[in-house]
Amino acid sequence: MKVLLLYDYPPSPGGLATQGDLLYRGLLEMGVDAQAVHFESAQEKEWYYRWFEPNVVVGVGYWGHTPQLVLHPQRYGAQPVPWLVADGYIANYQEILNALPLILVTSNWVKEMYVRDGISGDKIEVLPVGCDTDAFIPHAQDDPKILAVREALGISPDQIFILTVGGDAASKGAQEVMQALAINDTKAPDWKYVCKVWPQPRTQKQNIADLEMAAQLGIEKSVTYATNTISRKFMPYLIGACDIYAAPSRLEGFGMPQVEAGACEKPVIGIKAMGMLDTLVHGETAFLANVAQKIVVDQVILGDESGFEEKHRVIFKVPRTVDYRADVHDIGKYLMILMTDAALREKMGKAARERVVKNFDYRVVARRFVEIINEKLGIK
């Protein structure tokens, strides 16, 4: 089997790049003949098609990347197998995607979204995102690297460190977490809430709105937004330094940071919806807050990034749920349970790592990928 992988290569610290790169690593370690190239590099992709002659071209992205992940390899006679996430709805490329023999998606919820929006479910297979369980491991709280993270963030040894990581924090449920923390504040142990976000213009605007909310709630002294650029090498120590990982995301097709937190033996606060139904087990590895609200739209405006002319209006025959909000009181209840019970945090963390190693280790995912390609396409 010869596999060409299309993703953000060489990998940035982002989720899609990490998703592709861990599959690439897993395939190489299995002895599969694999190459990787940036999904937007037309000339380099063509170069690989000509001399490497891959059996399959696996592209990591979402439906809007269909021109780069599907149409481009087809133009040169290569067999594309897109590995897709969802962003709430699939507004274009149904005919092209339905003509494929195989589509990979990251969770059962993503599969449901594609089927709902017109993609045939019999050709969709769920392949979860891999986790590097050799890098994301538990660390002792007196490890110098862990102590250094907490000291740099101004967190004392006796404070409960709650962490959220994302491109921005609001999409990961940070506003709901802050509301829950404000409800608990007077009766909770001493705590610090850190949101690690990616530095970009959109994030800066969202950070201001989030911090304004923290001030309105009266908890701004206990909330920190970290906006530095960091590498994947630092992430295991940042997660390893926290006591609770909180991300009841508003939209989550898989939830890579939640899985990485589990690999570091950290209990997670999530939402009982979307990809987290695949990755987290309520009461065992995480606490999942109920859905308090679904954000529903009946139309959207799209443009060139989605294969339309600018300001193209898409009107849905059936309104689409494009966002979720977790129940703030559930979040508060579960935070209080974890903040006051160190033994429970440890127990849930150990169960979480065991589950991640068994189901989401990048080598397990690579083996499953090979099985799917063999079973569905007859390629060995």
- Structure confidence by residue, pLDDT tens digits, 211-259: 999 999 999 999 999 988 888 899 999 999 999 999 999 999 999 999 9
Note the pLDDT of residue 364: 98
Q: Which amino acid is at 1?
A: M
pLDDT at 110: 96
What is the structure's pLDDT at 86?
Answer: 86
Where the chain has pLDDT below 70, the residues are none
Which among 246, 244, 239, 255 has a CA at the least distance from the CA of 173? 246
Residue 329 falls in which region: left (phi positive, over 0), alpha (psi -120 to 50) or beta? alpha
Distance of CA 204 to the CA centre of its chain: 21
Instruction: Let me know how long the chain is.
Output: 380
Alpha-carbon span 310 to 340, nearest angstrom: 52
The pLDDT tens digits for 172-219 are 999 999 999 999 988 999 999 999 998 878 778 888 999 999 999 999
CA–CA gap between residue 356 and residue 155 (Å, rounded): 28
- Residues whose CB is less than 8 angstroms from the CB of residue 86 and which lie 6 or more positions away in sequence, other chains included: 62, 63, 105, 109, 110, 113, 114, 253
Q: Residue 71 has what DSSP assignment? A: I
Helix, strand, coil in percent for the chain, rounding step 5: 45, 25, 30
Domains of the chain: 2-130+361-377 (3.40.50.2000), 144-290+327-359 (3.40.50.2000)
Residue 203 CA to its chain's centroid (Å): 17
